[in-house]
């Protein structure tokens, strides 16, 4: 009942905040968001799942009750968490709380609507990461679009209307492609539910039949491609990334934090759950192309970031680069590869959220984010600058930061991988590692110019210390980044437990 309690609390909280007067909304929303955070932390400590929930593992906190009866088919309310979804659940509740805190300064109009939508989005995200029935999962998946559309569209920057509708239509089209691909697969299976473990089991027992003259193998490949494209937009990988910079640049800071920190992980989470867990044989057949997509995303995203002047755009494009590592780790099909990819989802969620918050804090004070407009602000904003530098090092993978563990795992995993013949994966890994160099290049260059050197600020606003709650949010987050860097096993143990059954599908890892 814990998952239902989290969903109920956030949903009720959203309505309470929506109806509350603007003056209280921020504190009320913050207080209410502590409840699901506390709940998910409690769940983390009492977590008792084993294995991968899609592959015969026993999920924690599971409930299953029939929802809609469609003749021979039954849709259920089916929730539960395993080692892959539990860390993402904690990430969601933690980032929501901190994102709400980071909204206190910049959001000064229609506050109750803003915070209500934030809580509503948290509810949807919890649903996405815990749902185990396809249709129920899809409901939450689509739910997420609605609050994000408003968060960008109402509280965003100058081109917010364009960015909001682009995000909305782009990701909705992707969902539809994925929906058609997945259902075409499911219709041929001897199952009469949409519950994901049953579907995964049916696929692995060779249940995929032919659909109107299309052979099972072609159908599986077609479904895989449709789902991959659908999820790739959400991740996003090159060439489906064009909505992301617009959405990020126009979105207000807290929305960017949620977008980069959690919403992008929906895409990689779904790739792992659907494509790489349900159709591992197809994934291996297409591994070459997927690896190319991953490497291109890493390098092209990094190079795009290199070319930007706007701090927020830099971070936005670097997200594309980092998500490329996740894809590379997934396709490797090794314990470190998939485990590292999952760990990278958490790590990147924390670090990119932190980076966006830091940019937001600077913007709150300076009212500009252009690299050329600012110089040497570390003197005036020492803590913010310190955290920003720490976050950047985390991004680059400095040891003792979570980014190091994540990227190290991914590289080790993909280097060892024999999913492609010869040394192809090692070559891909080596090329992808070059992305780190570019990251170091653009982040250090931007840091050096904005934070250090002689003080200069081309802005009408005086550069002063950031507000206390802004600093508190980034300090808390950087502590988590360091904590996970020092002891990755906080999450890595349970991740490995859930990843092992996936590897067993392909013969114990490649």
Partner 1 sequence: MVQLPPLTPQYLLGLTALVLLLVDTVSPESRKNGLLAGVSLAGSMLALVTSGWFLLAGTGQTQPFVLFGGAIVVDGMSLFFTAIFASVTSLVVLASYDYVRDQAYLAEYYALVLLAATGMSMMAASNSLATVFVALELTSLPSYVLVAYLKHNRGSVEAGLKYFLIGALSSAVFAYGISLVYATSGTLVLSDIASAVSSTTFVGVLGLGVLMVLGGFAFKTASVPFHFWAPEAYEGAPGPISAFLSSASKAAGFVVAFRVFTIAFPLQQLAGIGVDWALAFAILAVVTMTLGNFAAATQERVKRMLAYSSIGHAGYVLIGLAALSGDNNSFVLGASMMHLLVYGFMNTGAFLFIALAEYWGLGRTFEDFNGLATQAPVACAAMTVFMFSLAGLPVGAGFLSKYFLFAGAIGAGLWWLAAIAAANSALSLYYYSRVVKAMWIEEPSSSLDIDSRPVGLYVAIVAAAVVTVLLLPAFNPVAHTAINAAAALF
Query: Which residues form the interface with partner 1 (CB under 8 A)?
Result: 66-73, 135, 138-140, 142-143, 145-146, 149-150, 153-154, 160-161, 164-165, 168-169, 172-173, 176-177, 179-180, 183-184, 187, 211-212
Instruction: For residue 23, give every residue at least 6 positions away whose Cβ sits within 8 Å of its Cβ, in sequence order, or none.
Output: none
CB of 71 to partner 1, least distance (A): 4
Please identify, using beta-carbon distances, which residue of 158 and 507 lies nearer to partner 1. Answer: 158
Please identify, using beta-carbon distances, which residue of 135 and 343 lies nearer to partner 1. Answer: 135
CB of 1 to partner 1, least distance (A): 17
Do β-strands 374-375 and 73-81 pair in parallel, antiparallel, or remain unpaired? unpaired
Burial of 257 (0-12, 13-18, 19+ CB in 10 A): buried
Please identify, using beta-carbon distances, which residue of 76 and 384 lies nearer to partner 1. Answer: 76
Please identify, using beta-carbon distances, which residue of 111 and 322 lies nearer to partner 1. Answer: 111
Please identify, using beta-carbon distances, which residue of 152 and 237 lies nearer to partner 1. Answer: 152
DSSP 8-class letter at 71: T
Please identify, using beta-carbon distances, which residue of 233 and 358 lies nearer to partner 1. Answer: 233
| Residue position matching structure tokens 């969903």 | 7
CB of 143 to partner 1, least distance (A): 6
CB of 455 to partner 1, least distance (A): 38
> For residues 277 and 288, is the Cβ–Cβ distance under 8 A?
no
Report whether the peptide linkage leading into residue 223 is cis, meaning its omega lies within 30 degrees of zero: no
Q: Which contiguous run of DSSP H or E holds residue 61?
A: strand 60-70
Burial of 5 (0-12, 13-18, 19+ CB in 10 A): middle
SS (H, E, C) 182-231: HHHHHHCCCCCECEHHHHHHHHHCCCCCCECCECHHHHHHHHHHHHHHHH
CB of 187 to partner 1, least distance (A): 5
CA distance 230 to 146: 18
Q: How far is CA 405 from CA 82, 400, 484, in A?
A: 21, 8, 8
Please identify, using beta-carbon distances, which residue of 184 and 430 lies nearer to partner 1. Answer: 184
Instruction: For residue 66, give every residue at least 6 positions away whose Cβ sits within 8 Å of its Cβ, in sequence order, or none.
Output: 74, 75, 76, 77
Please identify, using beta-carbon distances, which residue of 70 and 479 lies nearer to partner 1. Answer: 70
Please identify, using beta-carbon distances, which residue of 34 and 176 lies nearer to partner 1. Answer: 176
CB of 153 to partner 1, least distance (A): 5
Question: What's the angle, vertex CA 56, arms to CA 55 and CA 57, rounded to 5?
Answer: 95
List, as one string, the DSSP characters of 234-284.
Answer: HTT-TTS-THHHHHHHHS-HHHHHHIIIIIHHHHHHHIIIIIIHH-HHHHH
Please identify, using beta-carbon distances, which residue of 236 and 485 lies nearer to partner 1. Answer: 236
CB of 62 to partner 1, least distance (A): 19
DSSP 8-class letter at 103: T
CB of 165 to partner 1, least distance (A): 6
CB of 274 to partner 1, least distance (A): 16
CB of 507 to partner 1, least distance (A): 33
CB of 222 to partner 1, least distance (A): 9
Tokens matching residue 457: 């600020």
For residue 452, count other CB atoms closer than 10 A to its CB: 15
Please identify, using beta-carbon distances, which residue of 94 and 151 lies nearer to partner 1. Answer: 151
Q: Pick from 125, 139, 137, 55: which is nearest to 89 by CA?
A: 125
DSSP 8-class letter at 57: P
CB of 109 to partner 1, least distance (A): 11
List, as one string, the DSSP characters of 328-368.
Answer: HHHHH-SHHHHHHHHHHHHHHHHHHHHHHHHHHHHHHHHS-
Please identify, using beta-carbon distances, which residue of 117 and 286 lies nearer to partner 1. Answer: 117
């Amino acid at each position: 009942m814990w998952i239902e309690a989290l969903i109920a609390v956030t949903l009720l909280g959203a309505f309470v905040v929506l109806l509350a007067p603007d003056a209280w909304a921020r504190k009320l929303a913050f207080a209410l968001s502590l409840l699901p955070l506390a709940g998910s932390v409690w769940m983390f400590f009492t977590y008792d799942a084993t294995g991968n929930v899609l592959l015969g593992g026993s999920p924690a906190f599971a409930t299953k009750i029939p929802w809609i009866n469609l003749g021979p088919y039954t849709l259920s309310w089916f929730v539960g968490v395993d080692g892959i979804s539990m860390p993402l659940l904690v990430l969601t509740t933690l980032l929501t709380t901190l994102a709400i805190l980071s909204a206190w300064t910049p959001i000064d109009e229609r506050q109750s609507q803003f915070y209500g939508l934030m809580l509503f989005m948290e509810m949807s995200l919890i649903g996405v990461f815990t749902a185990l029935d396809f249709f129920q999962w899809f409901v939450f998946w689509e739910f997420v679009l609605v609050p994000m559309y408003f968060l960008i569209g109402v509280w965003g920057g100058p081109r917010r209307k364009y960015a909001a509708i682009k995000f909305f239509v782009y990701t909705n089209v992707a969902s539809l492609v994925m929906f058609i691909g997945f259902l075409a697969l499911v219709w041929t299976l001897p199952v009469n539910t949409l519950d994901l473990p049953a579907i995964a089991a049916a696929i692995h027992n060779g249940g995929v039949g032919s659909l109107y003259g299309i052979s099972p193998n072609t159908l599986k490949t077609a479904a895989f491609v449709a789902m991959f494209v659908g999820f790739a937009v959400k991740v996003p990988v090159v060439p489906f990334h064009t909505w992301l910079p617009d959405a990020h640049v126009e979105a207000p800071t807290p929305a960017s934090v949620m977008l980069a920190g959690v919403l992008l992980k929906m895409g990689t989470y779904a790739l792992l759950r659907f494509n790489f867990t349900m159709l591992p044989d197809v994934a291996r057949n297409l591994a070459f192309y997927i690896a190319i997509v991953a490497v291109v995303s890493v390098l092209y995203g990094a190079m795009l970031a290199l070319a930007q002047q706007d701090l927020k755009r830099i971070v936005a494009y670097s997200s594309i680069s980092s998500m490329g590592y996740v894809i590379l780790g997934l396709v490797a099909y090794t314990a470190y590869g998939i485990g590292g990819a999952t760990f990278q989802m958490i790590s990147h969620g924390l670090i990119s959220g932190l980076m966006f918050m830091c940019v937001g804090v600077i913007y709150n004070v300076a009212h500009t984010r252009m690299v050329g407009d600012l110089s040497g602000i570390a003197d005036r904003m020492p803590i913010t600058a310190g955290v920003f530098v720490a976050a950047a090092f985390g991004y680059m993978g400095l040891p003792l930061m979570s980014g190091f563990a994540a990227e190290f795992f991914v590289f080790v995993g993909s280097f060892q991988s024999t999913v492609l013949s010869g040394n192809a994966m090692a070559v891909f890994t080596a090329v992808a590692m070059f992305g780190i160099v570019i990251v170091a290049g653009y982040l250090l260059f931007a840091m050096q110019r904005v934070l250090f050197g002689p003080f200069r600020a081309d802005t009408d606003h005086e550069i002063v210390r950031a507000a206390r709650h802004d600093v508190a949010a980034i300090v808390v987050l950087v502590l988590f980044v360091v904590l996970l860097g020092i002891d990755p096993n906080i999450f890595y143990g349970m991740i490995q437990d859930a990843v092992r059954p996936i590897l067993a599908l392909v013969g114990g890892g490649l």
